[in-house]
Structure 1
Amino acid sequence: MHKIVIVGGGYAGLYTAWKLEKRLKPHEAELLIIDPRPYMTYQPFLPEVAAGSIEARHAAISLRSHLRRTRVIAGGATMINHAARTVTVEPADGPELTVTYDTIVVTAGAVTRKLPIPGAEEVAIGMKHVEEAVAIRDRLLTAFDRASVLDPGAERQRLLTFAFVGGGFSGVEGFGELLSLATALLKSYPEIRFSELSFHLVEASARILPEVSEKPGKWVVEFLRSRGAHVHLNTRVVAAVDGHVELSTGEAFDANLIVWTAGNAAHPIIAKHTDLPTDERGRLVVRTDLQVGTFDEPVANAWAAGDNAAVPDLALGTPGSFTVPNAQHAVRQGKRLASNIVASLRGERPRPYRHDSLGVVATLGLGRGIFQYKRIVITGLPAWLMHRGYHVLAIPTWERKIRVLAVWLTAAVTGRDIVSLLSVQEPRKAFVSGGIPHAR
C-alpha cells in the first residue's frame, strides 16, 4: 500500500491528513503524521488564551481524536532524506526512529525568530504554543497578587511592567489582550493603581501590523497609546539580561514579563536537515500546485504547504510574490494539497493553489478590534465581533466550536476567570514543602 508521511501537525498538516482520510479509500494509502505535540494549536486564539477569554485546551485540537485512519507518531522529525525516502524521528523517550515513505508532505511550519540579544533567550517567552499563552496569563495574574502586598518601589514597579517585542499580528493581539486583562483586574485589586501599570510594545520598524495599510496601522498605535501603553517604533531591544530591558533609544526598564513575537524563522529541519530544495530564507521551493520543486525540475512524491513553504501567490499576480504565513492560507493549502495528492495517485492533473484574501482582522482587547478588507476599515466593537465570528467558524471541528462558544457566553455573564495556576509548573512544591506557602 502507498505510504504517505506528513511531517508537522499544524493547520496544513491536520487539514491535509483530514481531507486525505475522506478522499482516499482505505486500501489506497497508509497515512502517518509526525509531530512532537499530539495536537494542532489554533494560534489565532492564543491571545485570548493569554487573556483568560478561552480555555487553553479549547485552542488545541487532538490529532488522535479527529484523525481516525492516520497513525500519529509523537516525536520531532530531525532529518528528511528524500533520496532514500526516509524521515528520522526523535521521540521523547527511546531511540531514534527511521520512518520510510513513498510520498512526503512537509507541513512543519515555522519557529519563533530569535536574535542574538543578551539575556533574551534566558528570560523571554514566545507565543506560538498553548503552553506559552498559559504561562503568560499566569505570570501576569501572579504578578498582581505579589505586587498588591508590596509597598511602592522598584520591585513593585518591576512586577507590574510587561514588554512585547514585535509588532506583527501575534504581538499586537497578545499585547492588546493582556493590556485589557490587566486593566480589568484593577477592579479586583484596589491596592494597585492604573498609573502603576507599564506596558511596552517594541517594534524595530516604523509601523506595526504590516498586514494592514498605513492609516489603520497608525490608528492602532494611537488607540494603544490612548489606553496607557508605551509603543516604541523604530526601536530595537539591545539587551534583556535578568529582565532588565535596554532599548536602542537609550531607554531602559525592568520587566517582569517579556513576550517575544519578533517574527518567524525557518524550521530547522527545512533550513538545515533535508535534501529537498530550499530558498534563501530556508523555505521549501514549491510550485503553484504545492509539489516541491519548480516546473522545470519537479521533485517526485514530495509536497509542502504552510509557513515552511514558499508558495507562489497567484491572487496577487505579481511575479516572485508568495503567500503570507497565516492560518487563512495554511488551512486552504492543506485542503488543496490533499486534493492534489489524490489526483496524482489516480493519474489526474493537480490544480494550482489560489486564494483571494478575505481581509485581516485583529483583536485589541475585550470588545475592541480592527478589520480591513481592501479599502474597507472597521474598528471597535463591530470589528471585535467579526474577529470572534470568523475564528469560531474557522477553528476545526464542531466540538471545539461549541466549547469555545460556551466559554464566551459564560464569560459574558460571569466575567473573566482570574485564577492563576502558575504553581502547576512546579507540581511537587507543595508536597515537598509540607504545604507551607512560599511567596516566591
Structure 2
Amino acid sequence: MPRILIVGGGYAGFYTALKLEKWLLKGEAEVVVVDPLPYMTYQPFLPEVAAGQIEPRHSVVSLRRHLKKTTVITAKVTGIEHATRTATITPEVGEPWQMEYDHIVVTAGAVSRTFPIPGVADNAIGMKSIEEAVAVRDRLLDNFAKAALLPAGPDRDRLLTVVVVGGGFAGIETFAELRALASALLKDYPQLTIDDTHFHLIEAMGRIMPEVSLETSHWVLKNLAQRAATVHLDTQLTSAVDGVIELSTGESFESDLIIWTAGVMANPVVRGTDLPLEERGRIRTRADLRVHTEDGEIVEGAWAAGDVSAVPDLSGGGVGGFCVPNAQHAVRQGKRLAKNLVAVLRGEEPKDYEHKNLGAVAGLGLGHGVFQSGRIAIKGVIGWVMHRGYHGLAIPMWERKLRVFSGWAWNLVLGRDNVSLTAREEPQAYFQEFASRPKA
C-alpha cells in the first residue's frame, strides 16, 4: 500500500485525514498523521476559553478518537527529504527515526510572528494554543484576587492592566472577551471598580480588523471605548522589559499581562526540508494543492495546505493573490486535498481549490459581536448570536458541537465558572510541602 504521511494535525491536516478515511477504499492507502499534540485545537474559540466561556477541553478535538483508520503518532517531524521520500520523526522520549512515504501532505500550520522588541520574548504570551488561553485566564483571575488585597497604587495598577498587541481578529476578540471577563469579576470584588482596571490594545496600523468594513471597525472601536477599553492606533510597542510598556507615542505604563497577537508566520519546520519555499517561508503550492517549484514544475508526491502553504486565491479576494491564513481556507483546503489525492492515486486529474470568503464573524464578549458579509453588517446581540452559531457548528465532530452548545447554555443559566487553577502548573507542591523525608 502507498503510505500518505500528513505532517500536522491542525485544521487542514485533520480534515485531510478525516476525508481520506471516508473516500479511500480498504487497502488503497495507509494514512499516518504526525503531530506533537494528540488533538486539533479549534483556535477561534481561544478568546472564549481565555474568558471562561468555554471549557478548554471542549475546544480541542482528539485525533485518536475521531481518526479511527489513521495511524496517529504524537511526535515532531524534524526533517523532510522529499528527494528520497523520507521524513525524520522525533518523539519526546526515545530516539528519532526515519519514516518512508509515497505522498507527503504538509499541513504544519503557523506560529506567532514576533519582532525583536526588548522584553516581548520574556514577558508576553501568545494566543495560538489552548495552553496559552488557559494561562491567560488564570493569570487574570489571580491578578484580581491579589489586587483586591492591595491599596490603590502602582502595584495594584500593574496587576489590573492588560495589554494586547495586534488589532486583527485574534487580538480584538481576545481583548474584548478579557474586558468582558474583567467587568464580570468586579461583582466578586467590591474593593475594585471598573476605573481600577486598565485595558490597552496596541495596533501599528491606522485601523483594526481589516477583514471587515471601515464602518464596522469604527463601531467596534466605539463599543470598546464604552466598555472602558483603550485602543491605540498608529502606535507601536517599543519595549516591554520587566513588564514596563513603552509605546512609540511616548506613553509608558506597567502591565502584568501582555498578550501578543500581531501576526503569524509559517511553521519553521518547513525550513528543514527540500520542498520549495517562497519569500515568506511558505511552501509553494498550486491551486490544486500540489507543491511546485519556482519554475512551476510539479513536485510529485508532495502536497500542502493551510497556513504553511502559499495557495493561489482563485476567487480574487486574497492578499497578494494568495489565500489568507484562516480557518475557512484551511478546512476547505483539507477536504479538497483529500479528494485530489484520492483522484491522483486512481489515475485521475485533481481539481483546483477555489473558495470565496463567506464573510467574517467576531465575538466581543457576552452579548457583543459583529457579522460582515460584503456590504451587510450586523452588530450587537444578533452579531454575537451569529458568531456563536457559526463557530458552534463549524467545530468538527458532533460530540464536540454538543459539548460546546451545552456549555454555553449552562453558562447563560449559571454564569461563568471563575475559578483559577494556576496551581496545576506545580501539582506536587502541596504534597511536597508536608511530605516526610528521610533524616540526613
Q: TM-score under structure 2 normalisation?
A: 0.97
Q: Is the 8 A contact 2:117 2:239 kept in 1?
A: yes
- The aligned residue for residue 400 of structure 2 is 400
Deviation at 1:319, TM superposition (A): 10
Whole-Å Cα distance in 2 between the matches of residues 128 and 328 of structure 1? 16
Whole-Å Cα distance in 1 between the matches of residues 185 and 274 of structure 2? 52
Q: Name the SS for the 2:125 alignment partner.
A: coil
Deviation at 1:98, TM superposition (A): 1.4
Deviation at 1:89, TM superposition (A): 2.0
Deviation at 1:26, TM superposition (A): 2.4
CA 1:113/1:157 → structure 2, altered by over 3 Å: closer, same or farther?
same
- The aligned residue for residue 57 of structure 1 is 57
- The aligned residue for residue 289 of structure 2 is 290
Residue deviations 1:32-55, cap 9 Å, x none? 001000100000001000011000
Q: Name the SS for the 1:406 alignment partner.
A: helix
What is the letter of the counterpart of residue 193 of structure 1? T
Whole-Å Cα distance in 2 between the matches of residues 107 and 28 of structure 1? 22
Q: Name the SS for the 2:121 alignment partner.
A: helix
Pick which of 214-223 and 404-413 moved more.
214-223
User: 5 Å matches for 1:149-228?
Assistant: 149-228=149-228
Whole-Å Cα distance in 2 between the matches of residues 386 and 404 of structure 1? 15
Residue deviations 1:70-90, cap 9 Å, x none? 111111111111101111122
Whole-Å Cα distance in 2 between the matches of residues 165 and 90 of structure 1? 33
Q: Name the SS for the 1:163 alignment partner.
A: strand
1:133 maps to 2:133: yes
1:2 maps to 2:2: yes
Q: Name the SS for the 1:18 alignment partner.
A: helix
- The aligned residue for residue 273 of structure 1 is 272
What is the letter of the counterpart of residue 189 of structure 1? Y
- The aligned residue for residue 88 of structure 1 is 88
- The aligned residue for residue 111 of structure 1 is 111
Whole-Å Cα distance in 2 between the matches of residues 381 and 48 of structure 1? 16
Whole-Å Cα distance in 1 between the matches of residues 318 and 235 of structure 2? 31
Q: Name the SS for the 1:68 alignment partner.
A: coil
Q: Unaligned 5+ residue runs, structure 2?
A: 436-440
Percent identity (aligned)? 58
Whole-Å Cα distance in 2 between the matches of residues 254 and 425 of structure 1? 25
Pick which of 341-350 and 85-94 moved more.
85-94
Whole-Å Cα distance in 2 between the matches of residues 209 and 413 of structure 1? 32
Q: Unaligned 5+ residue runs, structure 1?
A: 436-440
Whole-Å Cα distance in 1 between the matches of residues 87 and 327 of structure 2? 26
Whole-Å Cα distance in 1 between the matches of residues 113 and 319 of structure 2? 27
Deviation at 1:152, TM superposition (A): 1.0
Pick which of 348-357 and 315-324 moved more.
315-324
Q: Name the SS for the 1:171 alignment partner.
A: helix
What is the letter of the counterpart of residue 386 of structure 1? M
Q: Is the 8 A contact 2:318 2:324 kept in 1?
A: no
Q: Is the 8 A contact 2:317 2:357 kept in 1?
A: no
Whole-Å Cα distance in 2 between the matches of residues 210 and 86 of structure 1? 41
Deviation at 1:356, TM superposition (A): 1.3
Whole-Å Cα distance in 2 between the matches of residues 88 and 249 of structure 1? 48
Deviation at 1:318, TM superposition (A): 7.9
What is the letter of the counterpart of residue 329 of structure 2? H
Whole-Å Cα distance in 2 between the matches of residues 383 and 317 of structure 1? 23
What is the letter of the counterpart of residue 17 of structure 1? A
- The aligned residue for residue 357 of structure 1 is 357
Residue deviations 1:162-209, cap 9 Å, x none? 100111111110110000010011111111111000001001111111
Aligned residues: 434
- The aligned residue for residue 423 of structure 2 is 423
Whole-Å Cα distance in 2 between the matches of residues 278 and 57 of structure 1? 35
1:248 maps to 2:248: yes
Q: Name the SS for the 1:367 alignment partner.
A: coil
Whole-Å Cα distance in 1 between the matches of residues 391 and 319 of structure 2? 31
CA 1:338/1:392 → structure 2, altered by over 3 Å: closer, same or farther?
same
CA 1:308/1:403 → structure 2, altered by over 3 Å: closer, same or farther?
same
Q: Name the SS for the 2:150 alignment partner.
A: coil
Deviation at 1:434, TM superposition (A): 2.9
Whole-Å Cα distance in 1 between the matches of residues 47 and 26 of structure 2? 39
What is the letter of the counterpart of residue 133 of structure 1? A
- The aligned residue for residue 325 of structure 1 is 325
Whole-Å Cα distance in 1 between the matches of residues 252 and 320 of structure 2? 41
Deviation at 1:251, TM superposition (A): 0.7
1:391 maps to 2:387: no
